[in-house]
Amino acid sequence: MISAQNLTRKYGSFTAVDDVSFRVGDGEIVGLLGHNGAGKTTIMKMLTGYLEPTAGTAEINGYDISERRREAQALIGYLPENCPLYPEMTVVEFLDYAAELKGITPGERPRALRDAIAATGLAEKAAEPIASLSRGYRQRTGVAQAILHRPKIVILDEPTNGLDPAQIAQMRGLIKQLAETATVILSTHILQEVRAVCERVLVINRGRLALDARMDQLGSAGRLRLVTSGPPDKVEPLIAGLNLVKSVDRLAPEGAAHAYGLRLNGHGAEAVAPAVARAITTSGLDLYALHPEQRDLEAVFAEITAVDAASRETQNA
């Protein structure tokens, strides 16, 4: 289990990560999605204990990463965005060195290397210098060092970055294989990666958690569609008064009825819908429809970033 509570990281006056909270359960495959510079790598460094948060906490299976770093890191396999490899070493030499650093005993090391090499498909490259490897095989070597100690949690930062289509397909297969025995968090700025391998997505935008949704519920995450007899001058202030909705968008009318898109303010649709229904009906308005609005990942991500861009323009005006 991974628990992030109010994680914040500042560099002087710049806030790279701003009050981010989430939990990841055992066996989940979770994608951390955001544009380059959104704060994904900073979050991963804080989760793995390589960067202290300015505020907030991160726990790995109950261990506070700041206070019990050794115990927490023993449970984590980490692939940084640019994994430091030694080009003059062969794959086996590097993995043996990494195993020693991880505290794997000499007696356990041969099996640990054998299992990691087999899992990552590195057998035919094991005796070759890392300098001679393609980008794809270097990434596999990075993953192999991350799983040498059979971690319960695997954290991968941009694992498909720079790979060609065939290598990407192979890496996706490897990630799914890892998820059979471990919790996996991967960061990416590529929508297709999340859609291909993840069960859940956390969208990070300008250092803040903008969305947390399961992939099979994504189409209904964050928005409700409301159809009612009420005109905008009655419905908009009524909904705003609930403090559960970020904004109300006017949609194309449905006959004589008025339609609205309700952008939720961090609350689930199951909590907001009953409150909206009560507000509409107790005000004497007819309620014709109220249901989650179906959208795909691209539409959700585009909306989140578009709203943020508009907010920045307003602030800079």
| Residue 315 pLDDT | 47
Stated pTM of the model: 0.76
Q: What is the mean pLDDT of the chain?
A: 91
Residue 81, CA atoms < 13 Å, CB-side half-sphere:
14
Q: Is the pLDDT of residue 220 over 90?
A: no
Judge contact between 279 and 310, C-beta under 8 A: no
* pLDDT tens per residue across span 238-268: 999 998 888 899 998 999 999 999 988 766 7
Q: How far is CA 149 from CA 66, 120, 121, in A?
A: 21, 14, 17
Judge contact between 185 and 44, C-beta under 8 A: yes
Q: 119: helix, coil or strand?
A: helix
Q: Does 3.40.50.300 match the CATH number of domain 2-217? A: yes
DSSP letter, residue 129: B
| Residue 33 pLDDT | 94
Starting at the earlier edge strand, list the strands of the sheet with 63-64.
Answer: 14-24, 2-11, 55-60, 63-64
Beta-sheet pairing, 200-205 with 183-188: unpaired
Q: Is the pLDDT of residue 317 over 60?
A: no
The mean per-residue pLDDT over the stretch 55-78 comes to 96
d(CA 234, CA 80): 52
In the structure encoding, which two tokens stand for residue 6, read together?
């109010």
Domain ranges of the chain: 2-217, 222-316
The class (CATH top level) of 222-316 is alpha beta
